[in-house]
Amino acid sequence: MKKLIAEFIGTLWLVLGGCGSAVLAASFPELGIGFVGVAIAFGLTVLTMVYAIGHISGCHLNPAVSIGLWIGGRFNGKEVLPYILAQVLGGIAGAGILYIIATGKSGFELGSFAANGYGEHSPGGYSMLAALVAEFVMTFMFLIIILGATHPKAPSGLAGVAIGLGLTLIHLITIPVTNTSVNPARSTSQAVFVGDWALGQLWLFWVAPILGAIVAGLLYKTLSPDKE
């Protein structure tokens, strides 16, 4: 239960910090954070949580990460579904807090609410295929970073830095394409509030990240030393 509470809190923080920066700060040009600031915010949420809850739950904060670590032999399969449930609920709670704050401003319009999308709902107008490839490849690389940085033979104590910077880079690349998901819990949290098109396109932001994570987990087994 301690692990699940940690995952709930960590995913709440990821959504509140990352999506919150997009909804609250990036929408005001005079503040100047833009999509670069949003990318940094997402990286910082993971970086801070790695050191806050990493020793409790492993700091997955992402169903694709839990599945990828399981496939890669780093996580107990019996814990995958409880972790995913905690992550999704934590994400929705974070989005709920963000919604309460955002609607406290007169004239607030929900808009995309930092939801993920493709086609006409892609920030840059990218196609479904482009979104599918981007989410698959970026989640694949994210899992390679996580599996490598947390390996016992990797430099001690620096995993959080590598993972946080990796997520920042992923956002810098793909915010124009999909608003960047690589995390089904993050996508679900915003889609629940937007409804309509966001729920209709949500399937891609579950399927592509999970497939990318599975392939990364399988591949890293062949790259990683057998004896850790």
**pLDDT 10s digits, 171-183:** 999 999 999 999 9
Contacts of 105 (CB under 8 A, 6+ apart): none
CA-based Rg of the chain, rounded to a whole angstrom?
17
Give me the numbers of helices (H) and strands (E) for the chain, helices first please. Answer: 10, 0
Identify the pLDDT of residue 151.
Answer: 87
Distance CA 72, CA 74 (A): 6
Contacts of 51 (CB under 8 A, 6+ apart): 160
Neighbours of 222 (CB within 10 A): 7
pTM: 0.92
Here the tokens at position 39 are 């990318």
Kindly give the parts of the chain with pLDDT less than 70.
26-32, 225-228
Identify the pLDDT of residue 26.
Answer: 67
Identify the pLDDT of residue 112.
Answer: 82
Domain 2-223 CATH (choose: 1.10.1060.10, 3.60.70.12, 2.60.40.10, 1.20.1080.10):
1.20.1080.10
Identify the pLDDT of residue 32.
Answer: 66
Identify the pLDDT of residue 122.
Answer: 94
Identify the pLDDT of residue 163.
Answer: 95
Summarised one tens digit per residue, pLDDT across range 31-85 is 668 888 899 999 999 999 999 999 999 899 999 999 999 999 999 999 999 999 9
Identify the pLDDT of residue 228.
Answer: 47
